């Protein structure tokens, strides 16, 4: 947790001056990601989400051989309460993160609706690869198949863990202006489950932890 706090504060501190700007457009080679979590949140949750988003970005930059110094993840808007994040990052990486967020959100909501309980992405590389269409999308982004085969298992687990952390306990959200919801009839139940289950540990049968 201390590492998450340190990373998030570093990310926040380096970007806060950008977040205070009224308007800003992405530079060439960058793309925007706009996320609004509609539930009220707290500082611990905000730090966890910032850390998870940065880890997602860094891992995909590593896979795509993109320099995070040349293409840093920039925080250009941050509002607390109901968390509203706007970030700029390398175009291919932001495009992948957007697709992964949509796929994961759909999975979490669909499984909750069917099973009546919160379900994390299983921390199984093959399952994550299939859910995110990870190999296919990375190959389409220019990843060498030999390199991908060597790295896909470890990267799939990392991405799955961070997606779970980023989306934990959120029954409603907007991703680039598009609303995703578990449904009003299930919202309160989803929030209740979120108070006693940690979506981030990724264990199928392991003990639940309190959020």
Number of continuous H segments (helices) and E segments (strands) in the chain:
7, 5
Strands 82-90 and 30-40: antiparallel
pLDDT at position 138: 92
pLDDT at position 19: 46
Among candidate residues 81, 83, 116, 115, the one with its CA nearest the CA of residue 190: 116
pLDDT at position 200: 41
Task: Return d(Cα 36, Cα 180) in angstroms, integer.
Answer: 10
Task: Return d(Cα 129, Cα 94) in angstroms, integer.
Answer: 18
pLDDT at position 23: 56
pLDDT at position 112: 85
In a domain? residue 23: no
In a domain? residue 65: yes
pLDDT at position 7: 55
In a domain? residue 79: yes
Using a cut of 0.85, tell me whether the model's pTM lies above it.
Answer: no
Q: Bridge partners of 172?
A: 181
List of the chain residues with pLDDT < 70: 1-24, 115-116, 194-211
In a domain? residue 12: yes
Report how many domains make up the chain.
Answer: 1
Task: Return d(Cα 25, Cα 93) in angstroms, integer.
Answer: 17
Q: Bridge partners of 84?
A: 36, 79
In a domain? residue 210: no
- Taking only the tens place, the pLDDT of each residue in 116-160 is 677 778 889 999 999 999 999 999 998 888 888 889 999 999 999
In a domain? residue 73: yes
Q: Whole domain around residue 134: which residue ranges? A: 2-18+29-201
């Amino acid at each position: 947790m201390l590492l998450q706090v340190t990373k998030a504060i570093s990310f926040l501190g380096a970007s806060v001056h950008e977040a205070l700007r009224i308007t800003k457009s992405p530079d060439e080679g960058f793309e925007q990601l706009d996320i609004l979590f509609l539930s009220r949140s707290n500082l611990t949750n905000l730090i966890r989400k910032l850390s998870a988003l940065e880890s997602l970005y860094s891992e995909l930059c590593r896979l795509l051989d993109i320099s995070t110094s040349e293409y840093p993840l920039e925080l250009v808007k941050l509002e607390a309460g109901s968390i509203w994040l706007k970030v700029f990052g390398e175009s291919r990486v932001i495009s992948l993160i957007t697709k992964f967020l949509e796929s994961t959100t759909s999975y979490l909501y669909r499984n909750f609706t069917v099973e009546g309980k919160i379900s994390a992405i299983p921390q199984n590389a093959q399952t994550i690869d299939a859910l995110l269409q990870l190999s296919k999308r990375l190959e389409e982004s220019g990843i060498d198949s030999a390199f991908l085969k060597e790295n896909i298992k470890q990267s799939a687990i990392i991405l799955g863990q961070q997606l779970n952390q980023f989306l934990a306990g959120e029954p409603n959200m907007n991703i680039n202006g598009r609303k995703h919801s578990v449904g009003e009839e299930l919202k309160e139940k989803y929030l209740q489950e979120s108070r006693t289950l940690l979506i981030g540990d990724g264990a199928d049968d392991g003990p639940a932890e309190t959020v």
